[in-house]
Structures are given as structure tokens and as C-alpha cells.
Amino acid sequence: MKRVAGIVAILMVVGAHPAWAARTRVHEAAESERYGRKFGGMIGRGALNIVTSPVDLIVNVVNETKAGPPFVGTLTGLGKGLGCGTLRLGSGVVDLVTFWVPGFNGFPVSDSYENCMAGSSAAAEPMPAGYSPNAWEVPTGEPGAAQPPAEPAPAKTWKK
């Protein structure tokens, strides 16, 4: 009996689709404008987010521990992982509770477990020209708003 259970377990692991492949199709269906496709997609995305929410904790603890000092990185990863896991769990619950509401597509979180606040990686759009994730642009010129550093004045040269 143990042998049969072991073989079944191995076949389930080998024969199962990778989670990232299923996640992409489910996320696309959940964000569809067509009610029939959205209906099933939101149920699938909600269930997937609920089941995989603990993965955020593990991934963030490991990544932050590698990125910084071990103790501080572990604590940072623990906080970030708990926050992202809670966000993913909440998104999944909202999807399962509101899957039937026409025109409402839930509150999707990122497909990536490394950064739950990032946009959906399945529908990533290129950034417009002149923008980059590490270039800081001043959003407004209003008084009190952050301003860019002033351009240095050209050096004066004295001529006789």
C-alpha cells in the first residue's frame, strides 16, 4: 500500500503543471472583460492566491537574508513576507467572495513572489521613452514639493 501511495505521489508531482504556467492563464482570465471568462478566472486566481500566500513569506525571508546582513535581512524579509502574504491572502479572499459581481475584477497582486507590489508580469507594458525605474522625475513644481538639485553655475574665468 505504501508503494502505491509513493508511486501516486511521484506521478502527481511529475505530471502536475508548473504553478507559474497556470498562474498566467488564470490571471489573464480573471482580468477579462467577458463575464464568462472572468467568472472562472477569479475563482482560480482567488484559490491560487490563498493557497500560495505562504510562499511570499519564504521567498522574502530568503531573498532579504541574502541581500543584507543575515539578522537584519531575516527580520526585514519576515516583515515583508508577512505583509505580502497577507496582501495575497486578502486578494484571494476578495476574488472568491466577489467572483460573481459583473465588471469587478478584484484587486490583483503581482504574479511575482519577490515583489507583491509590482505590476502584473503577465501583462507588462514597456515604460514610455524617457522613463526608467531608477530615474527620478520631479512630479510637480508646486511650492513645498520636492525639487531637483539646482544646476551648478558655470565656473567664472578671469581674463585680462
8 lies in a domain? no
Question: pLDDT of 77-97, one tens digit each?
Answer: 999 999 999 999 999 999 999
12 lies in a domain? no
Alpha carbon distance 100, 15 (integer Å): 31
For residue 142, the Cα-to-chain-centroid distance in whole angstroms is: 32
Total tally of structural domains belonging to the chain: 1
pTM score over 0.75 = no
75 lies in a domain? yes
144 lies in a domain? no
Measured on CA atoms in the order 130, 133, 136, 142, is the torsion positive or negative? positive
State which of 24-38, 54-68, 139-153 shows the largest mean pLDDT: 54-68
Cell of 146: 520636492
45 lies in a domain? yes
18 lies in a domain? no
Tell me if 95 sits within 8 A of 26, measured CB to CB: no
106 lies in a domain? yes
- Predicted confidence at residue 122, as pLDDT, reads 46
154 lies in a domain? no
| Alpha helix ranges (H) inside the chain | 2-15, 19-30, 35-67, 70-98
Mean pLDDT of 20-31: 71
Mean pLDDT of 121-136: 49
| Domain extent at residue 98 | 34-116
